[in-house]
């Protein structure tokens, strides 16, 4: 028998550097925060104080945490509150009720998030990855490819930033409490599975461990990564699942959502029904209406047959323009006929508003192109 050579750890300078940011309070649960605080030689109850500031009062700036003595504060902030997001550009429309922020991350990667205020609710659309590897040809994010996954805290910090803005009354005519989070910004959330699930826990844990949002008010959207959908079904979460279907037939979906070449329409729908069965939650079927591509009456009928009698709801999204795209949104009469046929088949159907279009903040428009400065 030949002895196996000893495997030695590579010296630090040769190890592949993780592009993930330094650890942050929001990466840890309360027990983890206590341990981290104790490791700094600080009293464990400081973990509770930091958590109350960040998750309850939505204070992100350590200098404002004045109930903690300055020396301790500096030590704690250096270890647990690194700057994760630096705003590069803020845009707004709808009289300030829709806001898009472009962030620079610690390594220079760029992501965007969008805040949407309504009279009865405030929703933030977060990014889960810088870029996206799914390559859907009608989506601006898909064109640039994937840069990297975001950490749990990079996801949470997007929400806390906007929750703070809402609490300060910066959204005219909207409630001061941010109540919904949709994982519909840049990236494929289920391709960054563990960090996204951890982020869902942090969003829904009661304050001050987390933000105390309702699981039902959180939507995770996917192109249909089958193994991850099955895993999600086993998590015992009751978040809303959205499936970006965009075509009822494999031939077309293979081109619109390339991951369909691996996992087919019938399989992903089965996984969606399993999720609905386990959680009792209606699955949202996303369908961008693309003129002369996927908007034919026969496709509406086929979609209706696939979804009839299921715990599903169709969300039609008028195609938003993206740079270089040859495609247009379906004309309104075509859209109306598509809706009519789905409803006739007994499938609840709504058309999504095109919030944020003027600031390239609508579905599929997030591309994180930096302005020349
Ligand atoms: N990767 C996940 C999360 C992104 S959600 C997913 O695809 O589900 C963004 C939603 O906007 C998806 O349903 C996506 O298919 C849709 N979308 C992408 N580009 C669009 C465009 N140009 N117009 C309208 N919707 C678009």
* Cα 294 to middle of ligand 1, angstroms: 15
Q: Which residues make Cβ contacts (< 8 Å) with residue 144, sequence separation at least 6?
A: 131, 132, 367, 368
pLDDT at residue 16 greater than cutoff 80 = no
Environment class of 330 (CB within 10 Å of its CB; exposed 0-12, middle 13-18, buried 19+): buried
Which residue's C-alpha comes closest to atom 8 of ligand 1?
A: 222
Does this model's pTM top 0.85? My answer is: yes
Residue owning tokens 């034919």:
296
The string over 290-306, giving b where at least 16 C-beta atoms fall within 10 Å of a residue's C-beta and e elsewhere, is beebbbeeebbbbbbeb
Query: What distance in Å separates the CA atoms of residue 103 and residue 126, rounded to the nearest whole number?
Result: 11
Query: What distance in Å separates the CA atoms of residue 34 and residue 51, rounded to the nearest whole number?
Result: 10
Q: Output the CA–CA distances (angstroms, integers) from residue 358 to 9, 261, 287, in the order listed.
A: 52, 34, 21
pLDDT at residue 6 greater than cutoff 60 = no
pLDDT in tens, 173-226: 999 999 999 999 999 999 999 999 999 999 999 999 999 999 999 999 999 999
pLDDT in tens, 69-119: 999 999 999 999 999 999 999 999 998 899 999 999 999 999 999 999 999
Averaged pLDDT, 4-19:
47
Name the average pLDDT for the chain.
Answer: 93
- End-to-end CA, the chain: 65
Pocket of ligand 1 (CB under 6 A): 132, 134, 136, 138-139, 184, 188, 221-223, 244, 286, 288, 317, 319-320, 322, 363-364
Which residue's C-alpha comes closest to atom 5 of ligand 1?
A: 184
Residue owning tokens 């369909």:
260
Of the candidates 132, 139, 174, 363, the residue annotated as catalytic is 363
Q: Is 363 tagged catalytic?
A: yes
pLDDT at 355: 85
* Cα 29 to middle of ligand 1, angstroms: 31
Atom of ligand 1 nearest to the CA of 329: 23
* Cα 186 to middle of ligand 1, angstroms: 9
pLDDT in tens, 308-348: 999 999 999 999 989 888 999 999 999 999 999 999 999 99
The string over 128-147, giving b where at least 16 C-beta atoms fall within 10 Å of a residue's C-beta and e elsewhere, is bbbbbebbbebbbbbbbebb
pLDDT at 266: 98
Of the pLDDT bands very low, low, confident and very high (cuts 50, 70, 90), residue 11 is: very low
Of the candidates 112, 154, 198, 286, the residue annotated as catalytic is 112
**Which residue in 98, 124, 94 sits closest to 111, CA to CA?**
124
* Cα 241 to middle of ligand 1, angstroms: 14
């Amino acid at each position: 028998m030949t002895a196996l050579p000893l495997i030695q750890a590579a010296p630090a300078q040769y190890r592949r550097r993780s592009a993930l940011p330094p650890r942050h309070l929001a990466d840890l649960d309360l027990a983890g925060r206590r341990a981290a605080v104790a490791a700094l030689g600080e009293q464990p109850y400081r973990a509770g104080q930091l958590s109350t500031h960040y998750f309850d009062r939505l204070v992100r700036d350590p200098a404002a945490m004045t109930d903690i003595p300055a020396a301790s504060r500096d030590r704690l902030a250096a270890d647990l509150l690194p700057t994760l997001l630096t705003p590069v550009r803020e845009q707004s429309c709808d009289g300030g009720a829709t806001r898009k922020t472009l962030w620079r991350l610690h390594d220079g990667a760029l992501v965007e998030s969008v805040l949407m205020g309504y009279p009865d609710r405030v929703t933030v659309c977060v990014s889960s990855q810088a870029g996206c590897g799914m390559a859907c040809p009608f989506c601006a994010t898909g064109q640039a490819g994937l840069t990297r996954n975001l950490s749990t805290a990079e996801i949470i910090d997007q929400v806390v930033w906007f929750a703070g803005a809402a609490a300060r009354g910066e959204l005219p005519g909207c409630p001061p409490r941010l109540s919904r989070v949709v994982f519909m910004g840049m990236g494929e959330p289920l391709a960054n599975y563990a960090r996204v699930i951890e982020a869902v826990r942090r969003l829904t844990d009661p304050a001050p461990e987390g933000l105390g949002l309702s699981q039902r008010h959180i939507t995770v959207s996917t192109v249909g990564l089958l193994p991850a959908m099955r895993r999600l079904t086993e998590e015992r979460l009751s978040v809303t699942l959205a499936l970006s279907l965009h075509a009822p037939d494999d031939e077309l979906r293979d081109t619109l959502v390339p991951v369909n070449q691996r996992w087919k329409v019938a399989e992903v729908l089965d996984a969606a029904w399993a999720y609905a069965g386990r959680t009792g939650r209606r699955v949202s079927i996303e369908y961008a209406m693309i003129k002369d591509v996927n908007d034919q009456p026969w496709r509406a009928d086929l979609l209706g047959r696939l979804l009839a009698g299921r715990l599903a709801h169709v969300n039609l999204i008028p195609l938003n323009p993206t740079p270089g795209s040859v495609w247009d949104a379906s004309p309104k009469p075509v859209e109306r006929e598509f809706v009519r046929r789905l409803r006739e088949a007994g499938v609840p159907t709504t058309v999504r508003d095109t919030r944020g279009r003027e600031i390239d903040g609508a579905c599929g428009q997030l591309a994180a192109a930096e302005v020349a400065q």
